[in-house]
Amino acid sequence: MTKPRAAGRTVGGLRPLMLQAPAVTLLLLWMVVPLGMTVWFSLQRYNLLMPGMTGFAGLENYEYLFTDPALWSAMGTTLLMVGWILVITVVGGTLLAVLFQQEFFGRGIARVLVISPFFVMPTVSALVWKNMMMHPANGVLAWLAQLFGMQPVDWFSSLPLTSIIMIVSWEWLPFALLILLTAMQSLDEDQVEAARMDGAGPLSIFFFITLPHLKRAISVVVMIEMIFLLTIFAEIFVTTSGGPGLATTNLAYLIYIQALLDFDVGMASAGGVVAIILANIVAIFLVRMVAKNLEE
């Protein structure tokens, strides 16, 4: 006697596939259509200031882009900016996570206050730092410099890239702290106490117990931050506008200049394709790093 088939099932999982098809199709369209249009425009002569000059350009936009010194300057600035911000946020977040794991009066309020900057919009953060913190005449840092008898610094003229790194690090440090502090909660206190009883000092406990425990969380922080930091724009737009010269022009801001200041859609699209390739290379590397850490 043939056993009756379970209700709602079909051979080969056809029904689950049909249920997933609309969501998968929408996701593919959401990804493929913008990417396809970007690649298409990157192969066209399409400048809004010269509507009569159109047609297929082939790799002409890419050839011009890769021979433009501004591209290599922007890519170098992007990597330098991302690298320093990652160092500051990961190191600072790790140290703050260890600090806030300790018991002290007002710890709950201090945790809320230190995490708050992450929820401030980038444009607002940039405006606060530009007008209230780094202003050469009325800023808090200028007041502190005068208080100690030093000359105030015009941050965005003298140290533009350092200024952007400071602002973005201030925004992302709470995120690193939040992830690492959460990971600290699962640290085995018995293991730490046993190490103390064996004579291990605070530095030994940090380097041989705490840091290995946080390795996976640090990998996740680096992966998520790297993806978002490649697209820093608002802070640069509000404070330095990519200057002086190209000192703070990263890849995202260079694409903005090509698209909305020079009105060269073809060139901007070629820059967008380069940015996509760079982001995917970084993402592949980071995903493999995180997967390796999770397997250990």
CATH of the domain at 110: 1.10.3720.10
The H or E element that residue 13 is part of is none
Q: How confident is the model at residue 155 (pLDDT cuts 50, 70, 90)?
A: very high
Q: How far apart are CA 202 and CA 192, in angstroms?
A: 10
d(CA 64, CA 269) in angstroms, rounded, equals: 13
Q: pLDDT at residue 5 above 90?
A: no
Count of domains forming the chain: 1
Say which residue, 18 or 266, is predicted with more confidence.
266
Does 130 fall in a domain?
Answer: yes
Give me the domain span that covers residue 217: 58-295
Rounded to whole angstroms, the Cα distance separating 2 from 281 reads: 54
* Nearest CA among 260, 279, 271 for reference residue 39: 271
Which residue matches tokens 């790194």? 165
Structural domain contains residue 109? yes
| Tens digit of each residue's pLDDT (9 = 90 or more) over 101-135 | 888 888 889 888 898 888 899 999 999 999 999 99
Residue 51: phi, psi to the nearest 5? -65, -20
- Say yes or no to pLDDT of 293 above 70: no
Q: pTM of this prediction?
A: 0.87
Please report whether residue 51 resides in a domain.
no
- Report pLDDT for 14: 67
In whole angstroms, give the CA distance from residue 228 to residue 203.
32
- Residue 262, in any domain of the structure: yes
